[in-house]
Amino acid sequence: MTKTKIAYFRANDEQKKFFKEKLGQSHDILFFESNDIKKHLDGIGDIDILCVRTNIDVCDKVISKLPKLKLIVTRTTGFDHIDCKFANNKNIQVCNVPNYGSKTVAEHAFAHILHLARNISKFDANAKRGEFTKESLKGFDLNSKTIGIIGGGKIGCNAAKIAKGFDMSVIVTDPFPNKKLAEEIGFRYVELNNLLQNSDIISIHTPLLPATKHLINKENVDNIKKGCIFINTARGAIVSNQALIHALDKSIITKAGLDVIEGEEYFLFGKEGEEIENINNIISRDNVTFTPHVGYYTKEAEQRIWQTTIDNILNFEDGKAQNCINK
């Protein structure tokens, strides 16, 4: 009996072991450490399933080179790295992992918030140099501050719950308001411009879609409340780098905590150009904390990602596809 053939990209030893134990008997798995599928197309032309994650470009040209492909499964919630429309036209199913990090990423957003609110890295750096001064490093309470959450899905709502634990006032903008949930958690919905103008802290938790690309841009960034702390643990391109640079230069945003940044894929593929210069401009500032897209990266979340990915594959093969993007 011919085994189902899977190409698994961006694999480390731990992942290889896990997937071999779970699928190795019934599937032929080709593991690649690389992010760049295009370099390996000649060797994977007969695969049935493609397994990827963020920053792996599954474009129409890649899909066209895989004539036997039946399923693309991404080990992420976001799927903007996949040409889902083209895959749908080719009758290729696309599945994601929707809920693995709904609490994990919200916690990471608050790690950035607390880090910035209390100047943790600066105190630590000073102490390691033998300097124990607290001058110019006075923090501020989260209690009574207003946090504006852009995106009221599972991650955004978990961020709202955490914020309420700090006795913060919470406002949310989302195109699909859930009034019952707002009442249960204790937040209220507002329009984006209202949120920008009235938030002491802004935290982004919306997916990257055509409608949300550059949601924060040069046209609306001046509306942000002056002195705001700005957090993005969602997708980099939701925020224009040019707009963020402007807001930081003008002290509209006084501190930023970023787990993602527009053009972050340039680092992975070694590209050069204006976007790299913009990224370096932003993350080199001492009032910006940057973590390289690791908001999901905990032991528990990673296990959920792997198991759900396997479940997606097995359910698809049983004719019971789950977590489908292009139904």
Residues involved in catalysis:
235, 275, 293
**Taking the CA of residue 136 as centre, how many other CA atoms within 13 Å lie in the half-sphere pointing to its CB?**
3
* Contacts with 300 (C-beta within 8 Å, 6 or more apart), sequence order: 104
Those residues whose C-beta lies under 8 Å from the C-beta of residue 110, and which sit 6 or more positions away, are 159, 162, 163
Distance of CA 148 to the CA centre of its chain: 18
State the residue for tokens 């390996």.
40
Q: 283 phi and psi, to 5 degrees?
A: -75, -10
Q: Residue type for 108, please?
A: H
Residue 198's CB: how many other CB atoms inside 10 A?
Answer: 15
DSSP symbol at 244: H
SS3 content of the chain, % helix, strand, coil (to 5): 40, 20, 45
Beta bridge partners of 94: 72
| Residue 98: both structure tokens together | 């929707």
8 A C-beta contact, residue 247 and residue 224: yes
Structure tokens at 83: 């040409």
Tell me how far the alpha carbon of residue 219 is from its chain's centroid. Answer: 24
Instruction: Retrieve residue 224's tokens.
Output: 């942000």
